[in-house]
Amino acid sequence: MRAKGRINLKIAFLDAKTLGKDADLSVLDKFGKAYIYETTKNEDVVARSAGCDIVITNKTAIDRAAVNSLDKLKLICVAATGTNIVDIDACREKGVAVTNVAGYSTASVAQITFGLLFYLLESLAYHDNFVKSGLYAESDTFNHLGRPFRELCSMRFGVIGLGAIGAKVAAIAESFGSEVVYYSTSGKNKNSTFKGVSLEELLSSSDIVSIHCPLNEKTKNLIDYEKLKMMKRTAILLNTARGGIVCEASLARAIDENLIAAAGIDVYTKEPISADNPLLTVKNREKIILTPHIAFTSVEARKRLAAEIAENISAFIRGEKRNRVD
């Protein structure tokens, strides 16, 4: 791994475009030769990773076949918190280390979560259009009460998944005066600050439901049509965690049937979103806001992410198990 006292590793970053052009990837140069690819198709993973000691990926999948084909591979750095795009079992069997980056996007995701919420809760698109369309200029009063909104301090705020991001969202909601409850999908998170409840109680009693759990076998399609039917008709659903946790067809149906008031969605089962995704054809478009998986992408979060990837590589070279998930 060293040549003449210098670290001499070969690194492939398969989807660097997901970190943005302003992310400083020059930090990888100190480890050797870094091959930076903006995007990589699944069929090109093996060819681009061949001969590399380290592969970095955000959302490009590395399956068992790829792991078994890459004889020199020693480390996979996932440029995200979730690691479901890597076959961890295959890596463990072959002795390939896997690291992730936890906590880098907590503030960014929490901020977007409330951005989605306020857009819906306060009907900001409607009010913006009311002014820009000229209707406000024609009004006979100084204000407009066409879309009344409620205060968060009068609401119960339900958080599904109380990891770092869920706990941050819960704390912000509490600072607005909301009564916060949570449901731990793993059953491992116990928090004395907030009240833990069953999923059924959370859904049926919360005015806001915000999802922050990982995508796994327990949480896939966790929120389906039957679960949506449990929610208040005045409730707002937010998902800035992972696509696949909410059944998209069920959500579109629930919105069109007025089973819930609105939804803010940043993540999708297939990304980029499929042109035939039912969320794109919801009848009342004002009741849903869709953003293109931006919750983790603040400038500061992406800078932290790049720095943490480099730290993970440095730790691996030193023989430390920093952020190891394998």
Domain 106-290 sits in CATH at 3.40.50.720
Contact 289, 119 (CB under 8 A): yes
pLDDT of residue 292: 98
Q: What would the DSSP string read from start to end of 235-296? A: -EEEE-S-TTSB-HHHHHHHHHTTSSSEEEE---SSSSPPTT-GGGG-S-GGGEEE--S-TT
Q: Which residues contact 226 (CB under 8 A, 6 or more apart)?
A: none
Pairing assessment for the beta strands 6-7 and 2-3 based on DSSP bridges:
antiparallel
Phi/psi at 267 (5° precision): -135, 150
pLDDT of residue 1: 52
144 is annotated as an active-site residue: no
Pairing assessment for the beta strands 75-78 and 54-57 based on DSSP bridges:
parallel
Structure tokens at 58: 């955000």
| Nearest partner of 266 among 297, 222, 221, judged by Cα | 297
Prediction pTM value: 0.91
| Nearest partner of 173 among 155, 189, 191, judged by Cα | 155
pLDDT of residue 188: 80
Q: Which residues contact 41 (CB under 8 A, 6 or more apart)?
A: none
Tell me the pLDDT of the chain (326 aa) as tens digits: 544 445 799 999 999 999 998 888 999 999 999 999 999 999 999 999 999 999 999 999 999 999 999 999 999 999 998 898 999 999 999 999 999 999 999 999 999 999 999 999 999 999 999 999 999 999 999 999 999 999 999 999 999 999 999 999 999 999 999 999 999 998 887 777 999 999 999 999 999 999 999 999 999 999 999 999 999 999 999 999 999 999 999 999 999 999 999 999 999 999 999 999 999 999 999 999 999 999 999 999 999 999 999 999 999 999 998 989 87
Pairing assessment for the beta strands 6-7 and 208-211 based on DSSP bridges:
unpaired
Domain map (residue ranges) of the chain = 2-102+299-317, 106-290
Of the candidates 156, 179, 212, 242, the residue annotated as catalytic is 242
Of the candidates 156, 212, 248, 293, the residue annotated as catalytic is 293
pLDDT of residue 5: 45
302 is annotated as an active-site residue: no
Return the CATH superfamily for domain 2-102+299-317.
Answer: NAD(P)-binding Rossmann-like Domain (3.40.50.720)
